[in-house]
Amino acid sequence: MTDSDDRPPSATDIDDTPTVSCERCGQEWDLAYELDDLGVGNQALEQFALDHQRHTGHFPDGIATWRVACRNCPETVERLSEDAARRWAETHARHTRHRLELRHASGDETTVIEEDG
């Protein structure tokens, strides 16, 4: 007979719910709500990050965004995907004829977006 402490953990014993922290807020959250209640699956981290930014004005730790800054006006935006940031920049350029800079938060390379034609 083996001691119950020697048995391997079962799937129900393991809590592998992802967590997110924010140094600015001084808190850590698990993503159970996003996974269980919202049912967003693989998009749980992205959903939490977007909700956190919407409510606090900043992203949680470890989230590197794509950033767009207009060279002509004070408009700026941060998006989690490059496609979303580029789409916003191209729309702004088309409507205002302004030039914009697109870059990733973790990099130094900048792409200039401007109206075509």
Return the closest-CA partner of residue 78 out of 106, 98, 99: 106
Domain limits, the chain: 19-56, 66-113
Scan for tokens 């470890």, then name that residue: 62
Tokens at 22, concatenated: 């924010």
pTM: 0.66
pLDDT in tens, 26-67: 999 999 998 888 888 888 888 899 899 999 999 999 988 899
Phi first, then psi: give them for residue 15, nearest 5 degrees. Answer: -105, 100
Q: Are 24 and 63 in contact (CB under 8 A)?
A: no
pLDDT reading at 100 higher than 60: yes
